[in-house]
Amino acid sequence: MPDMNPPEQITPTKLGDYLDVMSKAVFQSGISWRVVESKWAGTREVFRDFDPQTLTDLSPDEVDAMATDTRIIRNRRKVEAIITNARRMLELADEHGSFQAYLRSHPDFETLHKDLRKNFKFLRDMGVYYMLYLVGEQVPDHTEYMASRK
């Protein structure tokens, strides 16, 4: 992770905690991490603390308002992706009993990595690693991981 100390891990207590971390990874894809971090408090407000059910219940007018809100990075495709990701997260949590159970249902990191990339929009390689690391899931050593992606 360039120019920064590793972020502090969290112990997710609700589905929104996973969506928060995943959404930060989505916004960081192709954008300065510092810019994303500087806007994160406002992003949490705009995205209703990343409560997945609340996000999936938004009207098209509410989504339009979010996409133009100056408190966030105004990338409509990413705003819509986060709402789609919230819906998918709810589905997987329901299917597996919890989102953590979904994450742990994979036999290894590479299988989970591929499945997350397939299921969630704008979640790239480093975003998957970042998200899993932050929520306390097993990830390979960072140096080894980076070497495996070159």
Each residue's pLDDT tens digit, 23-44? 999 999 888 889 999 999 999 9
10 is a domain residue: no
What per-residue confidence (pLDDT) applies to 2?
A: 47
6 is a domain residue: no
CATH number for position 103: 1.10.340.30
Instruction: In whole angstroms, give the CA distance from residue 7 to residue 116.
Output: 21
What per-residue confidence (pLDDT) applies to 4?
A: 52
What per-residue confidence (pLDDT) applies to 149?
A: 82
2 is a domain residue: no
Domain count, the chain: 1
Q: Contact, 84 vs 119, CB < 8 A?
A: no
- Ranges of the chain with pLDDT below 70: 1-6
What range defines the domain where residue 30 resides?
15-148
What per-residue confidence (pLDDT) applies to 6?
A: 67
Nearest Cα to 63, choosing from 49, 82, 44?
A: 82
What's the Cα-to-Cα distance from 63 to each of 66, 69, 80, 133, rounded to whole Å?
5, 10, 8, 30
